[in-house]
């Protein structure tokens, strides 16, 4: 799908692995600057690539990438997950992460990535979608709220070491 300003949205391919991993780490560093409790294992770089590969091979997960010219500048990771049988909505969508490089933000690209992922989830029969947002990231809160998301839970953490 070609968008304004010659951006293209497409399903990630295996040759996007390095670009996806680099963008994921940009997002990780961004979140670490917001909240120092975001810490990553020494082998996280390899684990990130393994996770992306596993998701790319799953029928119930999809990475969509935004590309300008030949450069991947953003992505959204989405998946279908099964909740325990106590829930009415057993199959739900989950947005694992979304990231757009800073110079391409505020141009509607994140919204286009979301719309593409949302359409994919609807094709999978999903009507309920969950995601998490870092509590110190007000821009992300506003982005998702503008798209119709609302808070349902707040995750708290205690480090008792």
| Number of independent structural domains in the chain | 1
Residue 20 to residues 23, 121, 124, 154, Cα–Cα distance (Å):
5, 20, 23, 28
pLDDT band at 159 (very low <50, low <70, confident <90, very high): confident
Main-chain phi, psi angles of 22, to 5 degrees? -65, -45
Has residue 32 been placed in a domain?
yes
Residue 67: which domain range?
4-146
| E strands present in the chain | 7-11, 61-68, 71-82, 91-100, 129-131
Has residue 153 been placed in a domain?
no
31 vs 46: CA distance, rounded Å: 19
Instruction: Tell me the pLDDT of the chain averaged across its residues.
Output: 91
Has residue 119 been placed in a domain?
yes
What is the per-residue pLDDT for 104? 92
Has residue 134 been placed in a domain?
yes
Has residue 160 been placed in a domain?
no
Please tell me the pTM assigned to this model: 0.89
DSSP state of 101: -
Q: Which is nearest to 68 in space by CA: 34, 109, 124?
A: 109
CATH of the domain at 55: 3.40.630.30
DSSP reduced 3-state for 93: strand
pLDDT band at 41 (very low <50, low <70, confident <90, very high): confident
Has residue 155 been placed in a domain?
no
Has residue 79 been placed in a domain?
yes
pLDDT digits (tens, 9 = 90+) for 92-140: 999 999 999 999 999 899 999 999 999 999 999 999 999 999 999 999 9
Greatest alpha-carbon pair distance for the chain in Å reads 50
**Is 60 exceeded by the pLDDT of residue 81?**
yes
93 vs 127: CA distance, rounded Å: 8
What is the per-residue pLDDT for 4? 58
Percent of the chain with pLDDT over 70: 97
What is the per-residue pLDDT for 40? 84
HSE of 54 in the Cβ direction (CA atoms, 13 Å)? 7
């Amino acid at each position: 799908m070609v968008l304004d300003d010659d951006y293209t949205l497409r399903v990630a391919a295996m040759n996007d692995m390095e670009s996806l991993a680099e963008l994921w780490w940009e997002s990780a560093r961004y979140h670490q600057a917001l909240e120092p409790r975001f810490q990553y294992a020494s082998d996280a770089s390899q684990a990130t690539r393994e996770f992306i590969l596993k998701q790319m091979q799953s029928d119930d997960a999809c990475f969509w990438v935004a590309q300008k010219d030949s450069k991947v500048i953003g992505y959204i990771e989405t998946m279908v997950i099964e909740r325990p049988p106590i829930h009415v909505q057993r199959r739900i969508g989950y947005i694992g992460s979304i990231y757009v490089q800073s110079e391409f933000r505020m141009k509607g690209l994140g919204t286009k990535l979301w719309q593409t992922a949302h359409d994919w989830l609807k094709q999978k029969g999903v009507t309920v979608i969950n995601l998490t947002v870092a509590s110190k990231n007000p821009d992300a809160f506003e982005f998702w709220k503008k798209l119709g998301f609302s808070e349902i839970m707040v995750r708290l953490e205690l480090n008792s070491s």
